[in-house]
Structure 1
């Protein structure tokens, strides 16, 4: 897993703090995503349900790791089964939760939704 520690830094102001599934994108129908790696090679994946919801959230903005909806479980699936380039950056002193150390997930490459497959499950 790619992990960077940013001592003294703060996460981006737009980082999403997820308290419940209602804080995440709602569309869980299947969709195709194009992933472009560092050398420009592309591949397509198809996601639905929770995996799609978490990837759509990451496409929109960075996402705090700790969450009651177990975001890290979905991130592991996206990383290992679908090879989505997701990294975790570590920070210190989260004023909102009083955590000494905490992480934020980021996409580390180009990922875009290319086709939503309406009405399919």
Structure 2
């Protein structure tokens, strides 16, 4: 899987529902093992089981896009989900974040069909 980054033009804005994470409690709460189904570009289905932080990040991405920069190190988990589990996560870059005064910032998106098939509440 490639690490896809899409650069947006300066007038573009991330989706209004994108999650800005300041602490773990801003994210879904389930940490027990849960199974997910990933539909690949080739039409093949892969089933994975995630728990703890990996599950929290994927549950958040299933709900909505997530800002990259975060005190809870979201990017570390995103790398694991991409590399070890083949989860299709992309990053889009934007400019001029008025909330943080950053010149450039990224937002992670789930780029494909991923759904939880069992394992507790979100």
What TM bracket, shorter-length normalisation? over 0.9
Confirm or deny that 1:30 pairs with 2:33.
yes
TM-score using structure 2 length: 0.94
CA distance in 2, matches of 1:40, 1:95: 40
CA distance in 1, matches of 2:83, 2:113: 17
List aligned pairs for 1:88-99, cutoff 5 A: 88-99=91-102
Q: How many residues matched? A: 118
CA distance in 2, matches of 1:90, 1:19: 19
CA shift, 1:117, in A, is 6.0
TM-score using structure 1 length: 0.95
Q: Cα RMSD between the aligned structures?
A: 1.1
- Which aligned segments of 4 or more residues in structure 1 are displaced greater than 6 angstroms? none
CA distance in 1, matches of 2:72, 2:117: 26
Deviations 1:67-95 (A, max 9, x none): 00000000000000001000000000000
Structure 1: gaps (5+ residues): none
